[in-house]
Amino acid sequence: MVNIDLTAEELLTRLKEGKIYAKDKIERALQNFFQPEKILQLRELALKEVAQQLERKIESELPKTMLLRPERFLACISSNHEIAKKVIRKASRLASYYGSSWYLLYVQTEKESGDKIGLAAQRHLLNNFKLATELGGDVIRIKNENVAKTIFEITEQKQITTICIGKPHLSLINVILKTAVFNQLLKKLSKSDIDIVILS
């Protein structure tokens, strides 16, 4: 497959110059399909198709032992995570782009048990679970005091390639930084070639 990629403006210029349709059909074409938004959508579809065909070619031509592992994403949130929705949406968009699966991980520590967080935080958390499910993610809820160790275990278990997490000053990172496992987690992620996306 060869993709000849033109911008919408270039394509419209070619149309107006009579290089695509006969002159009597140009005006009708401009009112129907040949509109910048539709051309951009078609261009995006074409680029995705070329990328997918390239992936299929790589998978069929590389020896099975050399095949790249599939992308898998993990969104990590806490109950009072101010940008949880951004983290969830980012993981969902990345998974959608790669055509892969993704997970939402919530590690409930003793400080975040139902009787210790407010109703608003509980409602916010439930809404985030619902959002993740609606966007195609699998929700994982685990009770554990060691957040970093839990992330480490889930990353291994689900063969995660990218972790999406909130900005460092937020509570989830603070919890991780207080644990001795954090350095082990970073070492494991670097050895496994796992990326971390930190969202502000």
142 confidence band (pLDDT: 50, 70, 90):
very high
Are 171 and 94 contained in the same domain? yes
pLDDT computed for residue 15 by the predictor: 84
pLDDT at site 116 = 73
Q: Are residues 190 and 128 in the same domain?
A: yes
What is the pLDDT, as a whole number, of residue 141? 93
Average pLDDT on 18-26 reads 85
Asked, for residue 3, whether it belongs to a domain, the answer is: no
Is there a single domain that holds both residue 97 and residue 58? no
Let me know whether 83 and 133 are in one domain. Answer: yes
Structural domain boundaries enclosing 120 = 73-199
Nearest alpha carbon to residue 159 among 192, 111, 122? 192
Residue 60 has pLDDT above 80, yes or no: no
| Domain co-membership, 106 together with 167 | yes
CB atoms within 10 A of CB 43: 16
User: 111 and 77, same structural domain?
Assistant: yes
| 60 within domain boundaries | yes
Percentage of residues of the chain with pLDDT beyond 70? 78
* CATH code of the domain containing 122: 3.40.50.620
Nearest to 5 by CA among 33, 32, 42: 42
Is the model's pLDDT at 132 over the cut of 80?
yes
79 in a structural domain: yes
Q: How confident is the model at residue 7 (pLDDT cuts 50, 70, 90)?
A: confident
Does 53 fall in a domain?
Answer: yes
Question: Which tens digit of pLDDT belongs to each residue from 161-172?
Answer: 899 887 654 455
pLDDT of residue 176: 57
Q: Which of 7-11, 19-23, 133-137, 179-183 has the highest mean pLDDT?
A: 133-137
Q: What is the pLDDT of residues 69-89, one digit of tens each?
A: 788 999 998 876 668 888 999
The three-state secondary structure class of 154 is helix
Answer whether 0.75 is exceeded by the pTM. Answer: no
Q: How many domains does the chain have?
A: 2
Distance CA 120, CA 190 (A): 37
